[in-house]
Amino acid sequence: MGAGHGGALTARYVGGTTRVHRLEPHVKLVAVLAFALVVVATPVHAAWAPAAYAGYLVVVLAVAAVARVRPGRLARGLVVELPFVAFALLLPFVTAGPRVEVLGLAVSRSGLETGGGLLAKATLSVLAATVLAVTTEPRALLRGLQRLRLPAVLVQILMFMIRYADVVTGELQRMRVARESRGFRARGAAGLRVLGATAGSLFVRSYERGERVHLAMLSRGYDGHLRTGPAAAVRPRAWATALTLPVAAAAVLTAGFVLG
Amino acid sequence: MHVPDGFLDPATSVATGALAVGVVALAIRRAERELDDRAAPLAGLTAAFVFAAQMINFPVAGGTSGHLIGAVLTAVLVGPWTAILCMTVVLLVQAVLFADGGLTALGTNVTLMAVVSVVLGYGVFRLLTAVLPRTRGGLLAAAATAAFLSVPAAALAFVALFAVGGVAGVPLGAVAAAMGGVHLLIGVGEAAITVAVLGAVLAVRPDLVHGATHLHQAAPLQSRAEPVGAGITR
């Protein structure tokens, strides 16, 4: 985190020049959101649902391959859903309804379907969102959200957060080094007091920095609006490329409804 | 722990999304009134602080450690409307940059962690500060209770959403008991961390604590006979 260029928010981003990297950020955001919507719309109790999940998986892995996202990175992205894996694994045992035998255990059929469905849907969406995060710089994502008409105040707050997250986490990192070089080990109530003071002074420093930034901006003519240049026109080809992901997923879903 | 895509049915996701959009729109107006054109830099830096503070692992009783969620702490520090914006921005960053919390479930996550936690937590805080003695101890006790309650409240709100738009056939009582029980423990950690951080800020810059404005007393205007500065020897 101490490295100049990396940082807390760019932890996921990996630079590249693939077709996925070059797409406009708001186009990618729409594509990933649409993909998630298609995945969520899949009925869990349909007999063909597992086949549809497999189809989506092929689609999203193909996009990841085009973007040259390493499998390890995709797998690391999945760590966030661990608490829900536990929940999904419990479902077959606690849900009411007719039972089926799986590996010698009597589990609820409906619980198995819904638990599996939840797990599959969450995993697929996280994979797609991980491809987005790996191929898009935080600042580019901010521009994308701006073009998608996120309110101007939220865009500005996000901009300051993205700009200063590295500064603030760097400050935290230096405080940690200072603490530990003085022999601090977080233990018990005394540790809580010390870490509380750390977070407290981190807040004071962040807030005061915000005040200084505001004054510096005022002295440069800030009036509550940030001027950005005209947005570049998006080629229809870019939309066509990006929407391949949700359209392919929608094709899988439609095939499921028609054939299943 | 954020709700992923596909956990709740579309109707529930759309409803919580609409609620989140409405509350955030209101919060933008109120925060601009609270902070005028300072809103963006101050809320942005506070959001960066919340993001960083969530990375600190605090030791909590019995050798376990936990991290801050920060809804009540932020509300007491910078005011509820700004806090809603900060928590929303943090959740948005976690969803688009870290794939943590589904994009279609963003409205649900904002409703649970930015709206329910902040509104309920800050409501409890204000109620208690009105009742408790107007001292530092009273303020910290009110913040501790509010922080403690905000965590199981968000968890139970999730269970309620799950009951409306989740999986059918799951014994809801068991889910509510499990979620409530686990989050009571997390709430104890949240309360301890909130008090530790708030106490530290109160010690150095009490004027920055939005929820402590009632503790300040304007210094009475003093008139002095001899000219000020005559006796300065430093």
Taking only the tens place, the pLDDT of each residue in A92-123 is 777 767 777 676 677 777 778 888 888 888 89
Element (H, E) at B65: strand B64-66
A134 and A33 share one domain: yes
The pLDDT of residue A46: 83
A88 and A26 share one domain: yes
A4 in a domain, yes or no? no
**CA gap B150, A159 in Å, rounded:** 28
Token duo for residue A130: 């991980």
The pLDDT of residue A91: 75
Give whole-number Cα distances, A41 to A36, A121, B11, B105, B131, in Å. Answer: 9, 10, 11, 13, 49
User: With 80 as the cut, is the pLDDT of residue B231 above it?
Assistant: no
What percentage of chain A exceeds 70 in pLDDT? 93
A123 and A47 share one domain: yes
DSSP H helices, chain B, are: 10-35, 39-53, 71-78, 80-98, 106-109, 117-131, 136-165, 172-204
pLDDT tens readout for residues B201-211? 999 988 888 88
CB contact under 8 A, A114 and B167: yes
The pLDDT of residue A32: 92
pLDDT tens readout for residues A48-104? 888 999 999 999 999 999 888 888 888 887 887 777 777 777 777 777 677 776 766
Q: Give me the phi and psi of B58, to 5 degrees please.
A: -95, 140
Beta partners for B65?
Answer: B59
A247 and A121 share one domain: yes
A194 and A243 share one domain: no
A247 in a domain, yes or no? yes
What is the dihedral sign for C-alpha A212, B69, B4, B87? negative
Where does residue A7 fall: left (phi above 0), alpha (psi -120 to 50 degrees), or beta otherwise? left
- The nearest alpha carbon in chain B to A137 belongs to B97
A40 and A70 share one domain: yes
B11-25, B93-107, B173-187: which has the minimum mean pLDDT? B173-187
**Does residue A51 contact residue A256 with C-beta atoms inside 8 Å?**
yes
Cβ–Cβ contacts within 10 Å for residue B172, how many?
Answer: 13
- Find the domain containing A194 and state its range: 151-218
What is the total count of domains within chain A?
2
Q: Is B62 on the interface with A (CB under 8 A)?
A: no
Q: Which residues of B touch A77 (CB under 8 A)?
A: 99
Would you list the DSSP string of A86-146?
A: HHHHHHHHH--S-EEEETTEEEEHHHHHHHHHHHHHHHHHHHHHHHHHHHS-HHHHHHHHH
A23 in a domain, yes or no? yes
pLDDT tens readout for residues B74-103? 999 999 999 999 999 999 988 888 888 888
pLDDT grade for B168, boundaries at 50, 70 and 90: low
A26 and A136 share one domain: yes
User: How many cross-chain Cβ pairs, A to B, lie less than 8 Å apart?
Assistant: 264
Element (H, E) at A182: none
The pLDDT of residue A103: 67
Element (H, E) at A187: none
A190-194, B110-114, B146-150: which has the minimum mean pLDDT? A190-194
- Listed by number, the residues of chain B in 165-204 with a beta carbon closer than 8 Å to a beta carbon of chain A are 167-171, 174, 192-193, 195-201, 203-204
Q: Pick the more confident residue, B174 or B72.
A: B72
A130 and A155 share one domain: no
Cross-chain CB nearest to A77 (options B51, B88, B99): B99
Token duo for residue A112: 């198995």
A20 and A114 share one domain: yes
Q: Is B6 on the interface with A (CB under 8 A)?
A: yes
Domains, chain B, in order of start with CATH, read 10-215 (1.10.1760.20)
CB contact under 8 A, A133 and B97: yes
The pLDDT of residue A5: 41
Q: What is the mean pLDDT of residues B154-161?
A: 89
